[in-house]
Structure 1
């Protein structure tokens, strides 16, 4: 499924946000305000003023809520979880162009917190994905020692590893060595 630029960017942002969690197999990627600020800069999240500890706590809670959407056992549960997340977010869709980006839609309300901003933009991208019947593209890496999430953007929905260069390569080498030993 070809995703629009904004949708693909928001989906990549939610994946990167979730993958900052220690629950995905790494350390805490949002250990402090500096890491949160760096995440926001790297993902080019606009309209963010000074960050506070409460922002960090809210973004971490949001990250876990998004993780529960990705790991829902079925579509109905994913819909309930996403609807709950979206219902707690003030939204004011509006067209904007800023920072050299072409005209696009922002869903967060003016003056929204960082967490509301991410919940609105990323939540709407997930909602569109689900509405298009593409829920099964929300995946968790199949490598036994990895719990990172990803969106399978392959045409035939066949991607199983978060990164083919790391997890995928490692698993293929292990399978090759096992075949050679047999």
Structure 2
């Protein structure tokens, strides 16, 4: 399934958001307001006013809701979880060009909080993945010591590690060393 530019960007944003969770890494990547401000700046989330502690709380709740979609045991559960998330989100599609990006669609309503912004744009991107019956592309890393999520964009849906250079390489080297010892 070929993904459009804005869909790839939104999917990458939701993956990065989920992977800030302490369950996905060594520490909470959104432990405080400064972390949220950094995330918003690095992911170039547009149209966001000054952030508050309430924004942080809402984004942390959203992060867990997105994680629940990625880790759903089946398509029906993923659809139900995403519908619940989208049902709480004001969505107002509009075409826009900004920050050097080509024409694309934003789904968040004017004046939306950062959590609503992320829920709308990332939620709609995930909805497209599910509509295309590609939900199994939403994955968790197969490395035993990693729980990062990722979207498998490979043609044959064969990707199993969040990053082949780190997790994949580490697992392959360990297997090689085990074979050499045997």
- TM class, shorter-chain normalised? over 0.9
Return the alpha-carbon distance in structure 2 between the equivalents of residues 173 and 100 of structure 1. 41
User: Could you tell me how far apart the structure 1 residues matched to 2:51 and 2:174 are?
Assistant: 44
1:94 counterpart residue number? 94
1:147 equivalenced with 2:156 (yes/no): no
Matched, 1:165 2:165: yes
Question: Is the contact made by 1:19 and 1:149 (CA closer than 8 Å) also made in structure 2?
Answer: yes
For 2:105, the equivalent position in structure 1 comes to: 105
TM-score, structure 1 as length reference: 0.98
**CA offset at residue 107 of structure 1?**
0.3
Residue pairs, 1:16-165, within 5 angstroms: 16-165=16-165
What is the deviation of 1:26? 2.3
Segments of structure 1 that go 5 or more residues without pairing to the other structure are none
- Residue 23 of structure 1 aligns to a residue whose secondary structure is coil
1:121-169 Cα distance to aligned partner (Å, 9 max, x none): 0000000001011100000000100000000011111110001111000
- Identify unmatched segments of 5+ residues in structure 2: none
Structure 1 residues 56-65 or 93-102, which shifts more?
A: 93-102
Q: Which range moved further: 51-60 or 90-99? A: 90-99
Coordinate RMSD, CA, aligned:
0.7
- Residues 20 and 26 in structure 1, CA contact (< 8 A), matched pair in contact too: no
Q: How many residues align?
A: 182
Residue 10 of structure 1: how far off its partner (Å): 0.3
TM value normalised by structure 2: 0.98
Following TM superposition, by how much is the alpha carbon of 1:25 offset from its aligned partner in structure 2, in angstroms?
A: 3.0
Displacement over 6 Å in runs of 4+: none
